[in-house]
Amino acid sequence: MFEGADSEPAALNPSPSGSSVESRRSFLGVLLGLGSLFVGALLSVPLIRFALFPLIRRTTELKSSPAGEIGEYSSLTEPVLRTIQIELIDGWRKATSEKVVYVTKDNQGQLRVLTSICPHLGCTVPWNKGKKQFVCPCHGGTFAADGTRVSGPSLRGMDALETSVQNGQLLVRFQYFRQLVSDKEVIG
């Protein structure tokens, strides 16, 4: 029955081939762990990029658009509507859009270009010749000829755009501004 009291079961007696099985298993475990770590890192790259995108994004630089000869505006008595073309280059795509602006003069007689977008909720604000004011059709906001706020729900006056004069041309750099805030804040 008993072959010997000294004999140990085969499972407790490690053989030289058992140690190679353990080392093979530990190697495969480490390899599986490293592979899982690598795949996890690859899958997290889009998530990290998505989270950091607002911090690292760069918008395309807008070029100035011509709004006409500077001599056209020498005898300006009320705002003049102009349509300018804006060229946007985004990666490989080139898009051209048209924007409406008003060329007017401020209190000192200097040329000023106003965007036609209401700073309240973004409606297009036309010039009302009868009232001699800009009147927003959406919520009744009114603005003076130089773009200053007269009345209505808007927290600020109409937004003035950057201008320059080059070779006798009035150049306008169109930008979008945040709505519903009292300070003029560029968003694009």
The whole-number average pLDDT for the span 146-175 is 92
If one compares 183 and 150, the residue with the highest pLDDT of the two is 150
pLDDT digits (tens, 9 = 90+) for 65-103: 999 899 888 888 899 999 999 887 766 778 888 999 999
Which residue type, as a one-letter code, is found at position 172?
V
pTM attached to this predicted model = 0.66
Task: Give the Cα separation of 174 and 83 in Å (integer).
Answer: 11
The whole-number average pLDDT for the span 37-59 is 83
Got the DSSP string for 33-101? HHHHHHHHHHHHHHHHHHHHHHHH--PPPPPPEEEEEGGGGTT--S-EEEEEEEEEEETTEEEEEEEEE
* Mean of per-residue pLDDT scores for the chain: 84
The whole-number average pLDDT for the span 56-64 is 68
pLDDT in the model for residue 132:
93
